[in-house]
Amino acid sequence: MKKFLCMFLCMVLAMQALTGCGGKKTGENGVVYVYNWGEYIDPETISMFEEETGITVIYDEFDTNEAMLPKVEAGASKYDVICPSDYMIDKMIQKGLLAELNFDNMPNAKKNIGAQYYEQSKGFDPENKYSVPYCWGTVGILYNKTMVTEPVDSWSILWDEKYQDNILMQDSVRDLFMVALKLNGHSMNSTNKEELEAAKNKLIEQKQKSLVQAYVIDEVRDKMIGNEAAIGVIYSGEAIFTQRQNPDLEYVIPKEGTNVWIDSWVICKNGENKENAEKFIDFMCRGDIALMNFEYITYSTPNTEAQRLIEDEDIRNSKIAFPNLDDYENLEVFRYLGEEADAMYNAYWKEVFSN
Amino acid sequence: MSKSRKMLSLPFLFWSALFILIPLCMVFYYGFTDKNGSFTLQNLFAIATPEHSKALWEAIKLSVVSTIICLLLAYPLAMILSNIRTAQKSFIILIFILPMWMNFLLRTLAWQTLLEKKGVINSVLSALHLPALNIINTPAAIILGMVYNFLPFMVLPIYNVLIKIDKNLIHAARDLGANGVKTFLHITLPLSISGVISGITMVFVPALTTFVISRLLGGNKILLIGNVIEQEFTVTGNWHLGSGLSIVLMLFIIFNMVLSVVTDKDGEANAI
Amino acid sequence: MIRTGLKRIYIGLIFLFLYAPIFTLIVLSFNASKTRAKWEGFSFKWYISLFENEAIIQALQNTLMIAFLSALIATVLGTMACISLQSMKRKTRAVLIGITNIPMLNAEIVTGISLMLLFISLGVTFGFTTILLAHITFNIPYVILSVMPRMKQLNPSTYEAALDLGASQLQAFFKVVFPDILPGIISGFFMAFTMSLDDFIITHFTKGPGIDTLSTKIYTEVRKGIKPEMYSLSTIIFVTVLVLMLLVNYTPKKK
């Protein structure tokens, strides 16, 4: 045993020596702390930024908005640039965590990001003062053409008993209730008790009839590719990837309307490198850089310059990647509804799941 | 001697005070206050709402069943292993620990790949013209996941005490006419009870609050208490309610303490 | 004969159960496809891109260091605690062990957030050290729970006999007590090591920017799909440890 331990320890130490001590030196022009979703940027673009500006990027990743917030709020570490989603930006604005942006320092952000995306952003950032859109998409139905032969255009198919045990629903509170609220013709930002009650009953009905195979978050991608289920609620960014893997899959935006989600760059009030932060955001808005990121992430980019530069015609004209938002009705972005409404949603969510 | 032995506990006591008790005080502070910072028992009583008590009950059911299965699988296994004559006892320990060195999430996803309707196991079964196994997204899959993840924590402590039992005792019992069952019940089991208690603690206690297994293998169709607490901390940001429910769960630790005091007595009486 | 046969089958089945997902991961690491749901042919490409990926290698290094150090320190602290706990009253002992078990029971997010708040109030900079401290904390109960049963089996008179025969306390401990509780200590160490390797939530809340472990890398990848490089890394770790184990186990022993 001792021998094993010794050998093991030697290996660990050898690895340490082999890779040398990590830890970046501070660049000549200071640093910028960036906090982003995992796998949400082409690492190459970060190196390019460092080279061109002499600013060192200290890059960190989170897996959910909710895991990011307590860290930023408590001030455990001082981040400069963060990339939260719509409703979380709303919440952070209300909590006074974000700094106003100076668009004069960010010509690319002004020029390259499409006006319709700033328009959508007003749902959570009414004066477009705090955020610059980075990625966006819709939520819709992904179905398998070999298992679903009828035309799909409505959320109501998720309540069709033909597809018992064949439906994948989103697990998170707001995404789950969005489907039922939209189906009932209500706003997905509703705080009306009766509307939520109705949505809850709809979801309980769906669960009790065992229509739902599983409530999933990210596994929906692999399950749909593997033909595990006929229908799944999915983010449009994933839809393109799944379709490439399994050509039987088709994505639709239901006629009752849906969620348009936007992940945007924001700057933290307690960050110490605001100037560098603006440089970073502006760099990410450059057409060529946005294109690199689009190709790496495959989530739709709001960068019109990048959209123009896409070489693959199929993708450039893809209705999934770049739907014309004017073609659809009742599109909304999530807003932060306040603590009371959150508690109400959560209570109803618990009721759905304990049935 | 006893004085210097007590000194040995100082680093541990200091550590526990700083990194367990102080954070625990924060949990208690949140648990016993409301948003305005005034004292309340509301967060503790919240366990009585139908959703919460059902979530707790489901979690207890699943973790009790998993603990029992772990115990039933692990005890015979530990007995067999303890009788193997090998110079390298720690080799056996490693064999059981090694699978756990692959990341938990990757392992659980691998189970998903194995168990799915069109997964690996079902492909094999259908190639052999056997009926398909349909346990993915059911409580059975959750239990399987829990047993898989916690089994080594049951095997090792039991194995550790079993290899220490003097084989002469068992031979003596047999010589005196006790049959296998009697020897087991009167000699082996009582002498290994401290290992069993450790194993039960290490399986039951963490199983009570996990929810990732239920999310990945159970299709998240059952609300567990771990889910509720997580949700209160993250989605609603209601740390008060989350902490209150956590405090209620600490009752199980107290239960465990009582259990170990009671069994400790027997342990000492039986020590040779 | 039949009984040993049955025993072998039983052990074989348990091993199949424990190692089935591992083999699945190994197979997936050679899958040319990016998704685990589809087989697209045999490929080494994830192994190649793994070695080009500095971030993963760096994370591996952090993970091993943290796991090793936290397990080691927790083992030392836990074993010392066990020795002194044994000389305490039964009730005091049960209460102290109960307290150490709390991090094991608490939902990880509760432990994670409360430790984060503690570190903020202590004014510590978040980074390697904070992760290490947190890991030691949740590792201690696993060590105590595996050393304690051995401690209880210990015959106190051998220790006293050693003292009577003129051994110093330290000598008596290392010559008499230590060899007896060693298997418990070793399995405690490995359990602690394992728990540390796997932890995500607590690490997330106690880490600083720019430092990652494999777990935090894997979990943050979930939204975009876990990169197959992780499967190949797991395979390499698995094979390396297995080879090491076999080497150690089958090299002839010098007495």
Model pLDDT, residue B266: 46
Model pLDDT, residue A21: 46
Does residue B53 sit at the A interface (CB-CB below 8 Å)? no
Q: Is A75 helix (H, G, I), strand (E, B) or coil?
A: coil
How would you classify the pairing of strands A260-268 and A231-235? unpaired
Model pLDDT, residue B269: 37
- Single-letter amino acid, residue B131: P
CATH fold label, A137-259+331-353:
D-Maltodextrin-Binding Protein; domain 2 (3.40.190)
Query: Does the residue B208 lie in any domain?
Result: yes
Q: Can you tell me the mean pLDDT for C240-248?
A: 84
Gap from B244 CA to chain C (nearest CA, Å): 11
Residue ranges, chain A, pLDDT below 70 = 1-27
* Other CB atoms within 10 Å distance of the CB of residue C212: 23
- Give the whole-number percent of chain B exceeding pLDDT 90: 50
Q: Residue C202: left if φ>0, alpha if ψ -120 to 50, beta else—which one? A: alpha
Class of A28-136+261-325 per CATH? Answer: alpha beta
Tell me which H or E stretch contains B38: none
Query: Is there a contact between B221 and A1 if contact means CB atoms under 8 Å apart?
Result: no
* Nearest C-alpha neighbor of B70 from the set B135, B165, B143, B141: B143
Dist. CA A223–CA A182, nearest whole Å: 25
Of A216, A228, A351, the CB nearest to B51: A351
Of B89, B116, B238, the CB nearest to A343: B238
How sure is the predictor about B183, in pLDDT bands with cuts at 50, 70 and 90?
Answer: confident
Q: What's the domain count of chain B?
A: 1
CA distances from A283 to A118, B23, B168, C51 (A): 18, 42, 77, 29
* Other CB atoms within 10 Å distance of the CB of residue A263: 23
Dist. CA C227–CA C46, nearest whole Å: 9
Dist. CA B265–CA B162, nearest whole Å: 19
Q: Is C207 helix (H, G, I), strand (E, B) or coil?
A: coil
ipTM of the complex: 0.88
Model confidence pLDDT, tens digit, residues B11-68:
889 999 999 999 999 999 999 999 888 999 999 999 999 999 999 999 999 999 999 9
* Other CB atoms within 10 Å distance of the CB of residue A340: 10
Which residue range is the domain that position B169 belongs to?
49-270
Query: Which residues are paired to C31 by β-bridges?
Result: C42
Domain ranges for chain C, please list them: 1-32+229-255, 55-224
Domain ranges for chain A, please list them: 28-136+261-325, 137-259+331-353
* Chain C residues closer than 8 Å to A24 by CB: 210
* Chain B residues closer than 8 Å to A166 by CB: none
- Single-letter amino acid, residue A273: N
* Chain A residues closer than 8 Å to B109 by CB: 219
Does residue A69 sit at the B interface (CB-CB below 8 Å)? yes
Model pLDDT, residue C76: 94
Q: Can you tell me the mean pLDDT for C46-57?
A: 89
Q: Can you tell me the mean pLDDT for B193-217?
A: 90
Q: Can you tell me the mean pLDDT for B73-83?
A: 91
Query: Is there a contact between C140 and B12 if contact means CB atoms under 8 Å apart?
Result: yes
- Give the whole-number percent of chain C exceeding pLDDT 90: 43
Structure tokens at A215: 């409530």
CA distances from B115 to B78, B119, B212 (A): 27, 5, 16
Model pLDDT, residue B251: 85
Model pLDDT, residue A69: 92
Model confidence pLDDT, tens digit, residues C128-181:
999 999 999 999 999 999 898 888 888 778 888 888 888 888 888 888 888 888
How sure is the predictor about B88, in pLDDT bands with cuts at 50, 70 and 90?
Answer: low
Q: Are A167 and A213 in contact (CB under 8 A)?
A: yes
Length of chain C: 255
Q: Are C187 and B160 in contact (CB under 8 A)?
A: yes
C166: which DSSP letter? T
Model pLDDT, residue B240: 93
Model confidence pLDDT, tens digit, residues A157-175:
999 999 999 999 999 899 9
First and final C-alpha spacing in chain A: 52
Residue C206 has pLDDT above 70, yes or no: yes
Q: Are C118 and C49 in contact (CB under 8 A)?
A: no
Query: Is there a contact between B116 and A226 if contact means CB atoms under 8 Å apart?
Result: yes
Query: Is there a contact between C145 and B114 if contact means CB atoms under 8 Å apart?
Result: no
Query: Does the residue B164 lie in any domain?
Result: yes
Model pLDDT, residue A140: 95
Provide CATH code, domain C55-224: 1.10.3720.10
Confirm whether A28-136+261-325 and A137-259+331-353 share one CATH topology.
yes
Query: Is there a contact between B231 and A223 if contact means CB atoms under 8 Å apart?
Result: no
Q: Can you tell me the mean pLDDT for C204-229?
A: 89
Query: Is there a contact between C61 and A19 if contact means CB atoms under 8 Å apart?
Result: yes
Q: Is A144 helix (H, G, I), strand (E, B) or coil?
A: strand
CA distances from A322 to A144, A260, A327, B254, C51 (A): 22, 12, 12, 57, 35
Q: Are A295 and A126 in contact (CB under 8 A)?
A: no
Phi, psi torsion values for B184, nearest 5 degrees = -60, -50
Task: Tell me the CB-side half-sphere exposure of residue A263, using CA atoms within 13 A.
Answer: 21
Give the 3-state DSSP-derived string for chain C, with helices as H, strands as E and coil as C.
CHHHHHHHHHHHHHHHHHHHHHHHHHHHHCECCCCCCCCCCECCHHHHHHHHCHHHHHHHHHHHHHHHHHHHHHHHHHHHHHHHHHCCCHHHHHHHHHHHHHHHHCCHHHHHHHHHHHHHHHCCCCCHHHHHHHHHHHHHHHHHHHHHHHHHHCCHHHHHHHHHCCCCHHHHHHHHHHHHHHHHHHHHHHHHHHHHHHCCHHHHHHCCCCCCCHHHHHHHHHHHCCCCHHHHHHHHHHHHHHHHHHHHHHCCCCC
Model confidence pLDDT, tens digit, residues C70-115:
999 999 999 999 988 887 888 888 888 888 888 887 888 889 999 9
Query: Does the residue B85 lie in any domain?
Result: yes
**Can you tell me which residue has the tokens 């107290």?**
B254
Q: What is the CATH number of the domain that holds B203?
A: 1.10.3720.10
Model pLDDT, residue C1: 58
Dist. CA A15–CA C65, nearest whole Å: 10
Phi, psi torsion values for C252, nearest 5 degrees = -60, 140
Residue B258 has pLDDT above 90, yes or no: no
Q: What is the DSSP string of A195-206?
A: HHHHHHHHHHHH
For residue A165, the Cα-to-chain-centroid distance in whole angstroms is 27
* Chain A residues closer than 8 Å to C210 by CB: 24, 58-60
Mean of the per-residue pLDDT values of chain B: 87
* Chain A residues closer than 8 Å to C223 by CB: 37-39, 63, 218
Dist. CA A138–CA B52, nearest whole Å: 33
Q: What is the DSSP string of A11-38?
A: HHHHHHHHH----PPPBTTBEEEEEEET
